[in-house]
Amino acid sequence: MRLISANVNGVRAAHRRGGLAWIAEQQPDVVALQEVRATDAQLRAVLDDVGMGDWSVAHTEAADAGRAGVAILAPVPLTDVRVGLPGFEQAGRWVQARVGDVTVASTYVHTGEAGSPREEEKLAFLDRIGERMSELVAEKAVLTGDLNICHTALDLRNVKGNVGKSGYLPQEQAHLDRWAAAGWRDVVRADAGAVDGPYTWWSWRGKAFDNDTGWRIDYQWASPALAALATGARVGRAASYAERWSDHAAVVVDYGAG
């Protein structure tokens, strides 16, 4: 199973820049999207354009139109679809579905702002994610998406400039520590080893992309049973600034049969 997870920063804009065509060219078996920011009909339209119009779709929009939105796509039927988490049913930030014998979740965690209600909301959402992951840990399951958290210093180029800021707060990182302690594996980090990056987000502004001044905030966290089947992981970083189709890069992981 090739699973591609991508924050598309607006699926229609990403499609205009070639992003959906790029995803289709990778021949995925499952796609998880974040920041879709589109209606069901608009999402279906871009899928039609890249030959994925007959794929099964589990998609949830935010109550606040034009924001957030997550989706799971597959060429086979999706079963056991669940939308939202307790207290966040209309947020457009969580959808999960079974693809064969694997449960795939796509999430878009809040950006947050240290010391503000926005950060409290982010931490509350992370609590709900942790509860759901506890339910799924014994299955073949994978949490994909934009967590808006750098887990360690290896995941952030400019550590000094971001100490005390949302995205690099100890209380956020503690959630990921708990997932790891429970047996979940950060598949990209396990594959890459103890190296800087590979980053998945860079500002559109300035030379952040050219200088690789990035953040690794997009993940695939696999349960023990599924992590054991991972055969390779990579970040689909664009070859140049001009070829970017989102401010994020896709995360591509191959899982073998088992």
User: What are the catalytic residues?
Assistant: 108, 146, 248
Binding-site residues for Mg(2+), in ranges, read 7, 35, 146, 148, 247-248
How far apart CA 41 and CA 132 sit, in angstroms, is 29
Cα–Cα distance measured from residue 158 to residue 3, given in angstroms and rounded to the nearest whole number: 29
Distances (CA, A) of 192 to 2, 215, 236: 18, 15, 14
**Which among 130, 201, 136 has a CA at the least distance from the CA of 172?**
130
Show Cβ contacts of residue 226 under 8 Å, excluding neighbours closer than 6 positions: 102, 140, 141, 142, 255
Tokens, residue 24:
């289709």
User: For residues 221 and 58, what is the distance between their CA atoms, to the nearest angstrom?
Assistant: 20
